[in-house]
Amino acid sequence: MHAKNDNQAMTNFIYNMIKEDVEKGALGDKCVHTRFPPEPNGYLHIGHARAILLNFKLARIFNGKFNLRFDDTNPIKEEQEFVDSIMEDIRWLGADWEDRLFFSSDYFDVKYEFALRLIKAGRAYVCDLNQEEIREYRGTLTEPGTESPYRNRSIEENLDLFERMRKGEFPDGSRVLRAKIDMTSGNLNMRDPVIYRILHTAHHRTGDKWCIYPMYDFDHPFSDAHEGITHSLCSIEYTDHRPLYDWIVDNAMELYPEVVKYRSRQTEFARLDLTYTVMSKRKLRRLVEEKYVQGWNDPRMPTIAGMRRRGFTPAAIADFQERVGVSRADSIADLALLEHCIRQELETTAPRLMAVLDPVKVVITNWPEGESEMMEMENIPGDESAGTREVPFSGELYIERDDFMEDPPKKFFRLAPGREVRLKGAYIIKCEEVIKDSQGIVSELRCTYDPQTRSGNDTSGKKVKGVIHWVSTGYATRVKVNLYDKLFTIEQPEEERDIDFINNINPQSLVVCENVPVEPAVEEVFPGSRFQFLRKGYFYYDPVASEEGMPAFNRIVALKDSWAKVKNKG
């Protein structure tokens, strides 16, 4: 439907590059093969969705393959809980890794062998410098480093020491294995990078089998080449690591060709940020831990889990990613674009329902006492196949409090004393009397209806500008509604260097409406489905927040509101 053809949608530089590779036969007998390599130490967010979808779609467009590989080389930070949530999120997004679920830790044996071969080739050595000394020897951004005094140990000694590291003879931090590259390189990553460290910590997959673990820069390129990844896509901050990536892959091909399926290449692209939210793991964790939100899946969070509970759809997220595009330039996508994508999808797919979020009572004084009438309304305007439903109309109704103004400005088209308005799908009513409580708050509007104006066979010839929604008081089902809005009040909450980003939280990011009257058709809908509450916005029947007898609906996004603009102009 709204999803464009893949080939038309993709016009970014990575797509172009792969297309060229394919056309000139650069892949040999290989097909395009990509991967998404999350570290299982946190929840996925909308920024990750770009990487997931990009990798997955690229593989699909070129009839290639897409792997999911957990980068689990640091047992201190990684947990099974995150493996599970990450898989759930990726699956929900629609990226299918088929039978190719891998873990970096699956290759610890073969990586150990590779390390041995590097040592034997004189290209890696065990270094006894402690962490602080390694830092000192590394030099600075502007000064070259100094070679470690252990750099020229004999191959035999290195082999012996590395073996003893593996056996657990040395404490954490006492020794590391380093690649012997160039301590004078302007690129710090090439100054004899550490490739294995000692960590006497159990691993979520390999248990106590290992007490030495490979570093990312050694592990990642090797795993890519080992899996036969043709295009290794990563974010821009790894550009500096590319020479090391190539060094590792080249050495693997030379020293251990039997386990290398492809000479993988790394390509970097910019991360994706979004306005009115934060994306850093640290800040998201703070929001959760300090209880500014109710958890990682709070519908205000930019996490995949949060967006799923808010009611976003995978299709809208994918559409958003496509429209934003991919480049190497730092970018912050506009929340308005994401909102546009979900509105566009729901406009044609979400059935309409009437709910009055902030009710005020209307009594129709000339309506026959105790009578009611069924009004037929379209579920999705313009889509006959979506059918219609019956909505009970009566002499006592709720309408939205802000659909009435006692002293309205010229451009206000809704209800006001002496003015007429159409009740959507029903009759035109006229406000005859305003009743207020002791505090002067409007408590009831007494109106008359015009029997000639029944929707569908209006013989009155009347034209009113305003159309408002309503619910019959005697036929209202009560639900809970969570009105979610932007989590922050400014576009870039992370930008304010001197002010804690917490200060920019939107105090109105969640407004709860209890006992909201909704037309009775709501009783036939299911958790997990999406609706438009007429004129108010799109809502998601939240299976998590709903309770027995009290369904909860989350506002995904409000409808565009051009009245608000008029009103604010004065």
Q: Does 58 bind RNA (CB under 7 A)?
A: no
- Positions 490 through 529 that interact with RNA (CB under 7 A): none
Select the residue interacting with RNA from 162, 276, 412, 449 (CB under 7 A).
412
- Positions 461 through 490 that interact with RNA (CB under 7 A): 466-468
Q: Does 240 bind RNA (CB under 7 A)?
A: yes
- Closest to RNA by CB, 130 vs 388, is 130
How far is the C-alpha of 5 from the C-alpha of 12, rounded, in Å? 15
> 66 CB contacts (<8 Å, ≥6 apart)?
33, 34, 35, 36, 55, 56, 59, 60, 95, 96, 97, 98, 100
Site track for RNA across 539-568, x = CB under 7 A: --------------------xxxxx-xx--
- Closest to RNA by CB, 181 vs 295, is 181
Letter string b/e over residues 470-484, b meaning 16 or more CB atoms within 10 A of that residue's CB: bbbbebbeebbbbbb
- Positions 118 through 137 that interact with RNA (CB under 7 A): 129-131, 134-135
Q: Does 381 bind RNA (CB under 7 A)?
A: yes
- Closest to RNA by CB, 293 vs 554, is 554
- Angle among Cα 65, 71, 75 to the nearest 5 degrees reads 155
Stretch that binds RNA, among 54-62, 154-162, 180-188, 518-526 (CB under 7 A): 180-188
Q: Does 142 bind RNA (CB under 7 A)?
A: yes
- Closest to RNA by CB, 254 vs 384, is 384
Q: Does 8 bind RNA (CB under 7 A)?
A: no
- Positions 418 through 457 that interact with RNA (CB under 7 A): 422, 424-425, 453-456
Select the residue interacting with RNA from 3, 4, 7, 13 (CB under 7 A).
13
Stretch that binds RNA, among 69-77, 302-310, 503-511, 543-551 (CB under 7 A): 69-77
Cα–Cα distance list, 376 to 109, 368, 389, 393, 495 (Å): 69, 20, 6, 10, 52
Q: Which amino acid is at 271?
A: R
- Positions 310 through 329 that interact with RNA (CB under 7 A): 323-329
Q: Judging by beta carbons within 10 Å of its beta carbon (0-12, 13-18, 19+), is residue 549 exposed, middle or buried?
A: exposed
Percent helix, strand, coil in the chain, to 5, is 35, 25, 40
Select the residue interacting with RNA from 458, 485, 502, 520 (CB under 7 A).
458
- Closest to RNA by CB, 46 vs 545, is 46
- Closest to RNA by CB, 7 vs 543, is 7
Q: Does 333 bind RNA (CB under 7 A)?
A: yes
How far is the C-alpha of 246 from the C-alpha of 253, rounded, in Å? 10
Select the residue interacting with RNA from 35, 180, 414, 530 (CB under 7 A).
414
Select the residue interacting with RNA from 110, 253, 270, 513 (CB under 7 A).
270
Catalytic residue among 30, 39, 261, 446: 39
Select the residue interacting with RNA from 26, 31, 121, 336 (CB under 7 A).
336
Nearest approach, Cβ of 59 to RNA (angstroms)? 19
- Closest to RNA by CB, 97 vs 309, is 97
507 closest CA partner among 536, 492, 491, 485: 485
Q: Which tokens in the block code for residue 10? A: 């993709």
Q: Which tokens in the block code for residue 114? A: 């590779």
Nearest approach, Cβ of 419 to RNA (angstroms)? 11
- Closest to RNA by CB, 121 vs 566, is 566
- Closest to RNA by CB, 375 vs 545, is 375
Q: Does 532 bind RNA (CB under 7 A)?
A: yes
Task: Tell me the site size for RNA, rule CB under 7 A.
Answer: 94
> Is the distance from CB of 282 to CB of 42 less than 8 angstroms?
no
Stretch that binds RNA, among 108-116, 118-126, 196-204, 502-510 (CB under 7 A): 196-204
DSSP-derived 3-state class of residue 331: strand
Q: Judging by beta carbons within 10 Å of its beta carbon (0-12, 13-18, 19+), is residue 330 exposed, middle or buried?
A: exposed
Q: Does 176 bind RNA (CB under 7 A)?
A: yes
Catalytic residue among 100, 117, 151, 271: 271
- Closest to RNA by CB, 250 vs 561, is 561
How far is the C-alpha of 42 from the C-alpha of 282, rounded, in Å? 10
- Positions 339 through 378 that interact with RNA (CB under 7 A): 339-340, 343-344, 347, 352
**Angle between helix 314-324 and helix 80-93 axes, rounded to 10 deg:** 80
Q: Does 238 bind RNA (CB under 7 A)?
A: yes
Q: Which amino acid is at 64?
A: G
Residue tagged 């040592």 (tokens):
119
> Would you call 281 a catalytic residue per the annotation?
yes
Q: Which amino acid is at 418?
A: G
Nearest approach, Cβ of 301 to RNA (angstroms)? 20
> Would you call 396 a catalytic residue per the annotation?
no
Cα–Cα distance list, 209 to 5, 198, 417, 560 (Å): 48, 13, 80, 58
> Would you call 310 a catalytic residue per the annotation?
no
116 closest CA partner among 74, 164, 158, 153: 158
How far is the C-alpha of 245 from the C-alpha of 234, rounded, in Å? 12
How far is the C-alpha of 554 from the C-alpha of 329, rounded, in Å? 35
Catalytic residue among 4, 77, 167, 281: 281
DSSP-derived 3-state class of residue 16: helix
Site track for RNA across 145-174, x = CB under 7 A: ---------------------------xxx
Q: Does 385 bind RNA (CB under 7 A)?
A: no
Q: Does 206 bind RNA (CB under 7 A)?
A: no
Nearest approach, Cβ of 452 to RNA (angstroms)? 11
Q: Are strands 467-468 and 537-541 parallel, antiparallel or unpaired?
A: unpaired
Residue 417: strand pairing partners? 431
- Closest to RNA by CB, 331 vs 503, is 331
Active site residues: 39, 271, 281
